[in-house]
């Protein structure tokens, strides 16, 4: 289950409280910013604030069509350190035209932030028990990467074909 009480780290190093709430177990939609699961999209029109979607391995954008233009944020869950599908989901959602905030959640910690940022993520929820300030310091650990990325294409080279 998504822990919405954890702070959010943005790619520029700022830290803010999370504003998103989950739909209650009884199905009632809270006021304000709400994050939905894929099977709750019928509640999208009931949300008064910002609208977010939690994408998991069970709700892959490879097999599901999401109303991307109606969403402000997409949270992509990384179930474990060794599961890289979230990187692929982020790239796919950007290719499908999503222009909003991509937020990495789940097993997120300092060592993966640079890769997430280079893959197009805008914000991160650091794994519970890890220090968010220490993680923020790691956002710029690698200044001169060897690879081209969606976030920093090298002049003269294209990042997509």
Q: pLDDT tens-digit profile of 17-66?
A: 999 999 988 889 999 999 999 999 999 999 999 999 999 999 989 989 99
Domains of the chain by start residue, with CATH: 8-140 (3.20.20.70)
Position 73 pLDDT exceeds 50: yes
What is the full DSSP assignment across 11-42?
TTS-EE----EEPPTT-PPPSS-EEEEGGGGG
Which stretches of 21-131 are DSSP H helices? 85-95, 110-118
The pLDDT, as a whole number, for residue 118 is 85
**Strands, sheet with 101-106, edge to edge from the N-terminal-most edge strand:** 15-16, 8-10, 123-124, 101-106, 73-78, 51-55, 34-37, 21-22
β-pairing, 15-16 vs 21-22, is: unpaired
Q: pLDDT tens-digit profile of 103-153?
A: 999 999 998 998 899 889 999 999 999 999 999 988 877 665 555 555 555
Residue 155 binned pLDDT confidence (cut-offs 50, 70, 90): very low
The pLDDT, as a whole number, for residue 147 is 54
Question: Helix or strand or coil: residue 153?
Answer: coil
The pLDDT, as a whole number, for residue 149 is 54
Position 87 pLDDT exceeds 60: yes
């Amino acid at each position: 289950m998504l822990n919405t009480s954890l702070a959010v780290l943005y790619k520029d190093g700022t830290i803010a409280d999370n504003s998103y709430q989950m739909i209650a177990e009884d199905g009632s939609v809270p006021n304000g910013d709400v994050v939905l699961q894929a099977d709750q999209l019928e509640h999208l029109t009931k949300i008064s604030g910002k609208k977010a979607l939690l994408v998991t391995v069970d709700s892959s954008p490879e097999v599901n069509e999401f109303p991307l233009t109606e969403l402000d944020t997409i949270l992509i869950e990384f179930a474990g350190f060794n599961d890289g599908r979230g990187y692929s989901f982020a790239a796919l959602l950007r290719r499908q035209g999503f222009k909003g905030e991509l937020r990495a959640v789940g097993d997120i910690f300092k060592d993966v932030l640079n890769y997430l940022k280079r893959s197009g993520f805008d914000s991160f929820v650091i794994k519970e028990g890890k220090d968010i300030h220490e993680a923020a310091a790691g956002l710029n650990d690698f200044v001169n990467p060897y690879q081209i990325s969606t976030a920093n294409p090298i002049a003269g080279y294209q990042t997509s074909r």
